Amino acid sequence: MTTALRAAFVTGDCLAAAVTGVLTTLAVRLLVPPDFDMVLAMAVGMAAGTIVHLALSLVFGPLLGMFETMVPGMYVGMYGGMLFGMRDSMQHSVVPLDSALWIGGAFGVVVAIGVTLWDAQLRHASGWSETSE
* Mean pLDDT, residues 9-31 taken together: 95
What total number of domains does the chain contain? 1
Any domain includes 96: yes
| pLDDT recorded at residue 43 | 95
Instruction: Evaluate if residue 133 carries a pLDDT over 60.
Output: no
Give me the helix-helix angle, 97-126 and 3-31, nearest 10°: 140
Domain of 91?
19-118
Any domain includes 64: yes
pTM over 0.75: yes
Any domain includes 14: no
| pLDDT recorded at residue 129 | 67
Any domain includes 4: no
Any domain includes 67: yes
* Mean pLDDT, residues 85-109 taken together: 89
pLDDT digits (tens, 9 = 90+) for 51-83: 999 999 999 999 998 888 999 999 999 999 999
Any domain includes 41: yes
* Mean pLDDT, residues 25-33 taken together: 93
| pLDDT recorded at residue 131 | 58
Any domain includes 45: yes
| pLDDT recorded at residue 92 | 67
Any domain includes 43: yes
